[in-house]
Amino acid sequence: MALLIFANGVLDEVEWIRPYLTQATAVWAANGGSKHLFRLNHPPDRVIGDVDSLKPAVLRWLMSNHVPFDQHPPAKDETDLELALLMAAARPESDVWLFGLLGGRLDQMLANIFLLTNPALVGKAVQIITPTERAWLVRSQTEIVGQAGDLVSLIPLVGDVQGVTTSGLRWPLQEETLFIGQARGVSNRLTAEKATVAVENGLLLCIQSRRG
């Protein structure tokens, strides 16, 4: 079971999300992320943010369903998603699943990805989920579960990542360094249903793309 958070990114389709909703301990919307739940007719348990980008129809829907608001002023240091993640850091759930983080403005999309590195989230398994991909931060080790042929990319986020060792990938690494600004870790592939990635030092973004 996981805490689900919806951000105000681009989601062309939303029906694929319904199975995830059945696994949720709670569903939150970071302000404009409410629009995705509006399309699903699934009221969030909470809306976090400055309520500045809610369309009138969505706002009326939220209010008619008595959804509580954690309202913040528009002039603030944190984004709405950041506020939601900081609140999630204090929750008991170890898994946090994020939807609607990508697409739209490039600055917001990049900022959303880098929020995964926030120290407050250490100990949480935070995943960005799309219809065909999922992405998460590797601080020490992780297991990748999928199908042979799935694409796996390993991307350093805040500096060189040292001591990278993998198993179950077509091009394995053995205590090697992935340098920031280089694309060596892009487009590897699963050779079985499971793979592992371990790092000795650094923060690695793991992106798994399901085989088409």
Domain range summary for the chain, segments of one domain joined by +: 2-131, 138-209
What whole-number distance in Å separates Cα of residue 198 and Cα of residue 92? 25
Strands (E), 55-120: 69-71, 95-99
Which parts of the chain have pLDDT scores under 70? 73, 75, 212
**CB 48: neighbour CB atoms within 10 A?**
26
Looking at residue 75, what is its pLDDT?
Answer: 66
Report in angstroms the alpha-carbon separations of 196 from 87, 120, 142, 176, 206. 30, 25, 6, 15, 11
CATH of 2-131, one of 3.20.20.450, 3.40.50.920, 3.40.50.300, 3.40.50.10240: 3.40.50.10240
What whole-number distance in Å separates Cα of residue 33 and Cα of residue 53? 9
Handedness of CA 78, 136, 126, 2 (dihedral sign): positive
What whole-number distance in Å separates Cα of residue 5 and Cα of residue 24? 10
What whole-number distance in Å separates Cα of residue 152 and Cα of residue 154? 7
Type and span of the H or E element at 195: strand 194-198
Handedness of CA 26, 94, 101, 76 (dihedral sign): positive
pTM assigned to the model: 0.93
Architecture of domain 138-209: Sandwich (2.60)
What b/e string do you get for 187-196 counting C-beta neighbours within 10 Å, with b at 16 or more?
Answer: ebbbbeeebe
Q: φ and ψ at 33, to 5 degrees?
A: -65, -15
**CB 158: neighbour CB atoms within 10 A?**
12
Looking at residue 54, what is its pLDDT?
Answer: 86
